[in-house]
């Protein structure tokens, strides 16, 4: 009886894994916990620089993915709209730093056992907009940047769940200034560092 039950369990795991195996495409969405790089500010002309680390906040994403499947590995490019948020204490006030961007991760995955797999690859990022509360912010220095995605996932039928870490490779700063010329000014690093939780559906 126990052997029969064990065989049935492994058969079920194999069936659910195969349901999302094979080349194809689908949609995905999820939540993230994001922190951007340091903010460096000064008050007035010749003011002393103040370095402020980001406080993480929740963000979200949604998009599409495609998959080329091989016996033990797969290639999965994605096109995703992402909205991230961090907060900083600027001159005694809390300012939220919102960034909208298009991400295109190109992931190489390895199938471990059953529905479990790991993956990693470059993430090409294009910044659409960045906003720092009520401060005037210029465009980021580089609209196009490259980061890294790495994570682990599980496939359950046509549904996939994964968690990944994303990190930008290099600083990508934007300058800001208050409403008055003598107000606070400085620069903020838009480079992301985030944990991303995603739900995907194979169509």
d(CA 14, CA 10) in angstroms, rounded, equals: 6
Q: Residue 174 maps to which CATH number?
A: 2.40.160.20
CB 41 within 8 A of CB 52: yes
Residue 79 has pLDDT above 80, yes or no: yes
Q: What is the mean pLDDT of residues 53-59?
A: 85
Which range of residues forms the domain containing residue 127?
A: 2-202
Report how many domains make up the chain.
Answer: 1
d(CA 23, CA 16) in angstroms, rounded, equals: 15
Q: What is the pLDDT of residue 48?
A: 53
Q: What is the mean pLDDT of residues 144-167?
A: 94
d(CA 137, CA 149) in angstroms, rounded, equals: 28
pLDDT band with cut points at 50, 70 and 90 for residue 150: very high
Q: What is the pLDDT of residue 4?
A: 46
In the sheet with 184-189, reading across from the earlier edge strand, the strands are 50-52, 39-43, 184-189, 173-177, 136-137
Q: What is the mean pLDDT of residues 6-33?
A: 64
Residue 2 has pLDDT above 70, yes or no: no
Q: How many CA atoms lie within 13 A of 24 on its CB side?
A: 14
């Amino acid at each position: 009886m126990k052997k029969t039950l064990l065989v049935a369990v492994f058969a079920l795991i194999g069936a659910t894994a195969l349901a999302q195996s094979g080349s194809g495409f689908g949609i995905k969405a999820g939540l993230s916990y994001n922190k951007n790089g340091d903010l460096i500010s000064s008050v007035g002309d010749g003011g002393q620089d103040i370095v402020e680390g980001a406080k993480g906040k929740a963000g979200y994403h949604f998009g599409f993915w495609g998959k080329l499947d091989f016996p033990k590995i797969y290639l999965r490019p994605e096109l995703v709209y992402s909205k991230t948020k961090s907060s900083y204490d600027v001159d005694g006030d809390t300012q939220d730093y919102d960034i909208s961007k298009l991400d295109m991760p190109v992931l190489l995955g390895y199938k471990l056992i059953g529905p479990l797999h790991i993956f990693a690859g470059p993430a090409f990022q294009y910044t659409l907009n960045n906003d720092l509360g009520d401060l005037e912010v210029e465009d980021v220095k580089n609209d196009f940047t490259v980061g890294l995605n790495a994570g682990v996932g599980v496939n359950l039928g046509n549904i996939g769940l994964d968690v990944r870490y994303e990190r930008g490779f290099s600083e990508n700063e934007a300058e800001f200034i208050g409403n008055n010329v003598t107000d606070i000014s400085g620069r903020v690093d838009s480079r992301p560092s985030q944990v991303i939780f995603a739900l995907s559906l194979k169509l």
